[in-house]
Structure 1
Amino acid sequence: MKTLLTSAFVLAHGPSGHGLLRDGAVLVEDRRVAWVGPREEAPVAEAHRILGLGQSLLMPGLIDLDALADIDHLILDSWCDDEHSARLRWSEEYLRSARHDVLTAEERSTMRRYALAQLALHGITSFMPIAAEVNTAWAETHDDLLDLARTASKLGLRGFVGPSYRSGVHATTADGGHVIAFDDEEGRRGFEEAVRFLDTVEELADPLLTGVLMPCRIETVREELLAETARIAAERGVLVRVHALQGLSERSEVLREHGTTPLELLERTGLLNDRLLIAHGVYLDIHDAVHGEDRGDLATLAEAGASIIHCPLTNTRYADHLVRLGRYLDAGVQICLGTDSFPPDLIRGIDAGIHVAQEQYGEPANHFTADYINAATLGGARALHRPDLGRLESGATADLVAFALDDFRAGPVEDPIRSLLLSGTGRDCRFSMVDGRIVTQDGLIPGVDLEQLRRDGQAVFDKLRGAYTERDHLAGSVDELFPPVFPVH
């Protein structure tokens, strides 16, 4: 099957990187891009079907490497002060005597289907999920991720997946203090399930699915388990993603437990190499809250070839910014992007990152727009060791997305990328294709009843929200935990 896609604008790839074609076309043959060029030169006679995308920007599919896998992430906590944050963690009492899965297996499956549909509708074509652990008995299981993998494949998304595992959990003491409570048996069991999942993905032999190892937040995983993760990853040549360098409390916990910094711990355990993806990577020596000067962390990351998953929208919402993206890029650190929260909107994320950069540098010229687009496409592909992704050129895998530019409210189109970032969002996804298969069309997912899924998702969200009260160390009501913006009369 050969499909010819035409669009007002095409972000094509050439010897010097991405370049813009006005009134362009892309010919897809089975799973590959067969031709890219001006519409007037398109091999129309070869096409079995022609799909006109109108006033759109057709570009490589977006790669989200810290992607939404639940419904409530950030919605319930981005506004919190320290007191409320303590109340949203597990209490020690709940941890010892009452922890359980809040959702049934069917509800968890609904939650994942809802989350993955959101990814598709926001123009994400490849994803690496974030763990949905707050509402589990401990951590994700082999069967949880098998369900997620099957759902992703059915929707047509490309997933780099594995269950997250941890040795400890952040908990709140009776007096409102904070501890990391460890259960090494649970940690070991989770790791074994993750390794078993690698075997399962190999058996599935699905071109859309790749198994990865996902230790959770670095301060919640024992050092010996991190080292074992590095050993298995090296033996099997698989990627590893870990949340690290994302907070001062993490840095303090690692220093107290291991006598070293998080980056040094990654190096010591053998994880720091070109198969490692580090979610966030904010608190390096250059950060003002650490040393405020370059003492070699960026060079260490660049030399190892590790990738930083930058999550600009989430950073903005938590007021926890990565310090000067340009310093990372100038040092040769590989940057890719993640959403890490709801909504999974990389367009809004890129826009947020651009404006933070302008503020940090104090001038509009330092916006890094092209660098952000590269990170969402080529950077993700490099982190995944998939040079066939993240680009539209002959021979590349046919993962692509088109964002509409014809909404009257978006205003006139200047440069299509600037116009999309200024006036649009991921919701402007008009069309997407993964591995040559149509995933979204006209803002819908063929075969998915989005209205029913919206209702089902709201029911799951309401159950998750209500469950926080049983974990609260002060046993507060839902309204106390989540006070409205204005009084409700």
Structure 2
Amino acid sequence: MTTLITADFVIAHDGRGHTELRGGAVLVDGACILWVGRADDAPAGPEVDERIALGRSILMPGLIDLDALADVDHLVLDAWSDGAAQRRLDWSADYFARRHEVLSAEERSTMRRFALTQLALHGITTFMPIASEVHSAWAETHDDLLDVVRIAGELGLRTFLGPSYRSGVHVTLDDGAATIAWDEEAGRHAFSEAVRFLDTVEALGDPLVTGILAPCRIETVRAELLEATARVSAERDVLVRAHALQDLSERELLAEAYGTTPLGLLERVGLLNERLVLAHGVYLDVHPEVHGEDRGDLAKLAAAGVSIIHCPLTNQRYAFLLEKLSQYLDAGVNVALGTDSFPPDLIRGIDAGVHLAKAQHADLGRGLLAEYLDAATSGGARALHRPDLGRIAAGATADLSAFALDDVRTGAVDDPLRTLVLAGSARDARFSMVAGRVVLRDGTIPGVDLDRLRADGQRIFDRLKAAYSERDHLAATGEPLFPPVIPPFAESH
């Protein structure tokens, strides 16, 4: 089937980089882009089966989110704590001993459907889900991720995924001290589930599903499991997505346990190579809270071919900032983007990153908007080793996203990318396509009851929020875990 898509603005690729094409058209044949050019020059006649006119929209490569929403409450509840309560949402030591599943299997599936539908509604076409185990008895399972595959398949999204695994979990002791509680056997079992999932994905043979290995935060994964991860990754040529270089406590814990830095540990266990995708990658030697100078970390990442998943909106909300995107790019490090929170809005993430870059450089000319667009598209494709993704060009895979610019609240359109980032958000997603299949049309997903989904999402959120009071050590003190922004209204007496 051939489909001709037209839009006032198309972000095409000329083989060297993204280019802006006004009054553009894209001809899709099956799962592949057959032709890109001006709409006036587009093929005409009966050989085009469907025509989709997007009008005053910007059509770009499908957005790639490599740290994508997988639950309902991530960041919504835990990005507001004061210094005294920074760790209050960790498990308590008591809960570690009696941990259990907060949600039923059906509720977990509902939560995933809510999350994945949000990705589609925000114009994301390819995703790698974040680990979502805080509400679990321990870690994600083979069947949990098989359910993600099923839901993603129904929606038509492309996914790279595997169950997360860990040997330990951050807990807060009765005296308020932070530590890691370990369960070695649970860690080994979780890793075996992850390897079994690779076998399942291979047997499925679905071109939209790629298995990866996804160790959780590296300070919670024993070195022997990280070594096993590196071995399986090499044997099967699969990607590894790990959360690392994420906070200063991670550096302290690994220095105490192994006498090295997070980067040193990754190198020691055999993970520092082109198959590694690091979520965050913030606390390198260039960071002012580490050394504040380049001592070779960026060069080591670039030489190894490691990709970084930069999550600018989450970084700002949690107050840990990449130092700086330009340094990573200048050093030759490939950078992809992730949302890592609700809402999964990469457009707002790009906007946050652009303004952070201006502030860090004290220079309006260093907004790096083009670089952030590249990270959300081509950078993600490079991290995934998929040169057919992340670009609109003949021969590329037909993964596309379009955002409307026709709302009066958007204002006048000058440069379409600047207009989208300054005045819009991913809620302006109008259309998306994955491998030639339309996922989002006129801002809606065919066959999805969004009213019911909203109600389901609220119900699951309320369950998850209530569970924090069981897990958190401060709950017993009566201190409110989630105080409101302003005091609630009270009747006068």
TM range (shorter): over 0.9
Report the secondary structure of 2:364's partner residue. coil
Query: What is the correspondence of 1:206-355 to structure 2 with a 5 Å cutoff?
Result: 206-355=206-355
Alignment partner, residue 409 of structure 2? 409
Q: Quick check: 1:73–1:341 contact (8 Å CA) kept in 2? A: yes
Give the whole-Å Cα distance in 2 for the aligned partners of 1:447 and 1:482.
Answer: 36
Instruction: Give 1:81 shift.
Output: 2.0
Measured against aligned partners, the alpha-carbon deviations of 1:253-285 in whole angstroms (never above 9, x if no partner) come to 111111000001101110010110000011000
C-alpha change, 1:477 and 1:423, in structure 2 (3 Å) is: farther
Give the whole-Å Cα distance in 2 for the aligned partners of 1:62 and 1:213.
Answer: 22
Alignment partner, residue 173 of structure 1? 173
Give the whole-Å Cα distance in 2 for the aligned partners of 1:472 and 1:35.
Answer: 56
Alignment partner, residue 399 of structure 1? 399
Alignment partner, residue 37 of structure 1? 37
Report the TM-score when normalising by structure 2.
Answer: 0.98
1:407 maps to amino acid: D
Alignment partner, residue 88 of structure 1? 89
Measured against aligned partners, the alpha-carbon deviations of 1:284-311 in whole angstroms (never above 9, x if no partner) come to 0011111111110000000000000000
1:378 and 2:378 matched:
yes
Query: What is the correspondence of 1:147-186 to structure 2 with a 5 Å cutoff?
Result: 147-186=147-186
Report the secondary structure of 1:113's partner residue. helix
Query: What is the correspondence of 1:461-480 to structure 2 with a 5 Å cutoff?
Result: 461-476=461-476, 480=480
Q: CA RMSD in A?
A: 1.0
Give the whole-Å Cα distance in 2 for the aligned partners of 1:87 and 1:26.
Answer: 51
Give the whole-Å Cα distance in 1 for the aligned partners of 2:474 and 2:164.
Answer: 29
Instruction: Give 1:44 shift.
Output: 2.1
Instruction: Give 1:180 shift.
Output: 0.5
Alignment partner, residue 57 of structure 1? 58
Report the TM-score when normalising by structure 1.
Answer: 0.99
Q: Quick check: 1:10–1:22 contact (8 Å CA) kept in 2? A: yes
Report the secondary structure of 1:475's partner residue. helix
Give the whole-Å Cα distance in 2 for the aligned partners of 1:61 and 1:86.
Answer: 36
Identical-pair percentage: 66
1:449 maps to amino acid: D
Report the secondary structure of 1:277's partner residue. strand
1:221 maps to amino acid: V
Give the whole-Å Cα distance in 2 for the aligned partners of 1:84 and 1:343.
Answer: 24
Q: Quick check: 2:142–2:197 contact (8 Å CA) kept in 1? A: yes
Q: Quick check: 1:245–1:280 contact (8 Å CA) kept in 2? A: yes
Give the whole-Å Cα distance in 1 for the aligned partners of 2:15 and 2:55.
Answer: 27
Alignment partner, residue 364 of structure 2? 364
Give the whole-Å Cα distance in 2 for the aligned partners of 1:477 and 1:381.
Answer: 48
Gaps of 5+ in 1: none
Instruction: Give 1:84 shift.
Output: 2.9
Report the secondary structure of 1:458's partner residue. helix
Alignment partner, residue 49 of structure 2? 48
C-alpha change, 1:166 and 1:42, in structure 2 (3 Å) is: same
Give the whole-Å Cα distance in 1 for the aligned partners of 2:365 and 2:108.
Answer: 45
Give the whole-Å Cα distance in 2 for the aligned partners of 1:339 and 1:87.
Answer: 23
Report the secondary structure of 2:87's partner residue. helix
Q: Quick check: 2:475–2:481 contact (8 Å CA) kept in 1? A: no
Instruction: Give 1:477 shift.
Output: 8.6
Give the whole-Å Cα distance in 1 for the aligned partners of 2:123 and 2:71.
Answer: 17
Give the whole-Å Cα distance in 2 for the aligned partners of 1:437 and 1:475.
Answer: 48
Give the whole-Å Cα distance in 1 for the aligned partners of 2:326 and 2:181.
Answer: 38
Report the secondary structure of 1:474's partner residue. helix
Alignment partner, residue 69 of structure 1? 70
Report the secondary structure of 2:474's partner residue. coil
